[in-house]
Homo-oligomer: A and B are copies of this chain.
Amino acid sequence: MKALILAGGSGTRFWPLSRKARPKQLLALEGERSLLQETVDRLQPLVAPADVWICTTEALAEAVREQLPEVPAGQVLAEPMGRNTCPAIGWAVGLMDAGTEPIAVLPADHRMADDAAFRSILGRAAQAVEEHDYVMTLGVIPRWPETGYGYLELGAELANGLRHVLRFVEKPGLAAAEAYLAGGRHLWNAGIFVFRGTTFLELLAKHQPELAAGLAEIADQPARAAEIYASLPAESIDVAIMEKLDDIATLPLDCGWSDLGSWEALHEILPKDEAGNALRGDALALDSANNLIVSEGGLVAVLGVSDLVVVRTGDTVVVLPKARSQEVRRLVHELAARQRGDLL
């Protein structure tokens, strides 16, 4: 099987550690390896590096190649621009030329606690694709009533533990999320797919003929790639294809998946001292509890504070309550308004 890792994302949730030129997937948030490197590592030995393809942006391609010397440089694809996941996957799958071989599509910035469990499920999904030509999506067994994720609603049981996916459910309200958690018939949509390349391209032609035509045009006239790419409909694979299919299959993942969507989520998965402080880099915490302290530069010393995020990079220090981690984007917007783009 082959793997296609989507590594073009940008975002501000881990600012100031993440920057435009160094987004989340290129950061080593947990250990010494970046999330992208860990995504490739996690596939071994199921998918050899020679069978890994990366779809990223032109701005990040060089950094991606540096982080992944084991992946052939030509398989690090640089999109002319970001147009959401469906054009990216369609374009990359066309270039991969995988035939009927299963392709796993994976985000580059997620975390699994149990890589072996993940590989086992991914291997079973690939087998189901080979045997039955399913389009598979892997869903995560919910651990709390999350309102920030989409869900998969489960239908009938298929062979070998597979389940039919009745429908994709958009981000629910809290009451619905609690019902999903209690009911046992929903999974978190983790954005992980497995399918035959040929099957995907057929579905693309059927459900997104305009996009498929545009990608064919790019293949014919590579010099006009940027111009044509800019005109493609910018839709997610979920909306553009998956939600239109009646016969998607899934396997539930139970491997400590996290999308590491905030500083708070990072605090949850890092090792902590007896007072609940997670310390990365040169950090000292006295009389302090449940803080996340990350330093890329010199010492960060705190005393008498709780439930804070304190992050220090070479040029920037950020302090905010852990529960308000998502609001770090407000600082980013304010700095952009103040013409401080050098810090973003």
* Complex interface residues of chain A between 304 and 339 (CB less than 8 A to chain B): 304-305, 308, 310, 312, 314-321, 324, 327-328, 330-331, 334-335, 338
Expressed in whole angstroms, the Cα–Cα distance for A175 and B233 within the complex equals: 76
Residue in B300, B305, B317 whose beta carbon sits within 8 Å of that of A299 in the complex: B317
Q: Which residues of B contact A298 (CB under 8 A)?
A: 314-317, 343
A112-147: contact bitstring with B at CB < 8 Å (1 yes, 0 no)?
000000000000000000000000000000000000
A319 adjacent to B331 (CB under 8 Å): no
Q: Which residues of B contact A340 (CB under 8 A)?
A: 299
A303 adjacent to B316 (CB under 8 Å): no
B312 adjacent to A324 (CB under 8 Å): no
A303 adjacent to B330 (CB under 8 Å): yes
Looking across the interface, which residue of chain B has its beta carbon closest to that of A319?
B302
Looking across the interface, which residue of chain B has its beta carbon closest to that of A299?
B316
Expressed in whole angstroms, the Cα–Cα distance for A319 and B294 within the complex equals: 13
Residue in B287, B297, B310, B338 whose beta carbon sits within 8 Å of that of A319 in the complex: B310
Q: Which residues of B contact A299 (CB under 8 A)?
A: 315-317, 335, 340, 343
Residue in B286, B316, B324 whose beta carbon sits within 8 Å of that of A331 in the complex: B286
Cβ of A230 under 8 Å from chain B: no
Expressed in whole angstroms, the Cα–Cα distance for A304 and B295 within the complex equals: 20
Expressed in whole angstroms, the Cα–Cα distance for A84 and B302 within the complex equals: 32
Q: Which residues of B contact A205 (CB under 8 A)?
A: none
Cβ of A174 under 8 Å from chain B: no
CB distance from A293 to the nearest CB of B (A): 9
Residue in B16, B284, B300, B317 whose beta carbon sits within 8 Å of that of A335 in the complex: B284
B303 adjacent to A328 (CB under 8 Å): yes
Expressed in whole angstroms, the Cα–Cα distance for A226 and B302 within the complex equals: 40
Number of copies: 2
Cβ of A275 under 8 Å from chain B: no
Expressed in whole angstroms, the Cα–Cα distance for A285 and B2 within the complex equals: 48
Cβ of A176 under 8 Å from chain B: no
A300 adjacent to B317 (CB under 8 Å): yes
Cβ of A95 under 8 Å from chain B: no
Q: Which residues of B contact A302 (CB under 8 A)?
A: 318-320
Cβ of A239 under 8 Å from chain B: no
Expressed in whole angstroms, the Cα–Cα distance for A338 and B16 within the complex equals: 28
Q: Which residues of B contact A297 (CB under 8 A)?
A: 315
Residue in B284, B310, B324, B327 whose beta carbon sits within 8 Å of that of A334 in the complex: B284
B331 adjacent to A317 (CB under 8 Å): no
Q: Which residues of B contact A219 (CB under 8 A)?
A: none
A303 adjacent to B327 (CB under 8 Å): yes
Expressed in whole angstroms, the Cα–Cα distance for A300 and B313 within the complex equals: 10
Q: Which residues of B contact A287 (CB under 8 A)?
A: 327, 330
Cβ of A301 under 8 Å from chain B: yes
Q: Which residues of B contact A295 (CB under 8 A)?
A: 317
Q: Which residues of B contact A335 (CB under 8 A)?
A: 284, 299, 301
Chain A: residues with CB nearer than 8 A to chain B?
A: 16, 284, 286-287, 295, 297-305, 308, 310, 312, 314-321, 324, 327-328, 330-331, 334-335, 338, 340, 343
The 6 closest A-B pairs by CB, nearest first: A298-B315, A303-B320, A302-B319, A300-B317, A304-B324, A299-B316
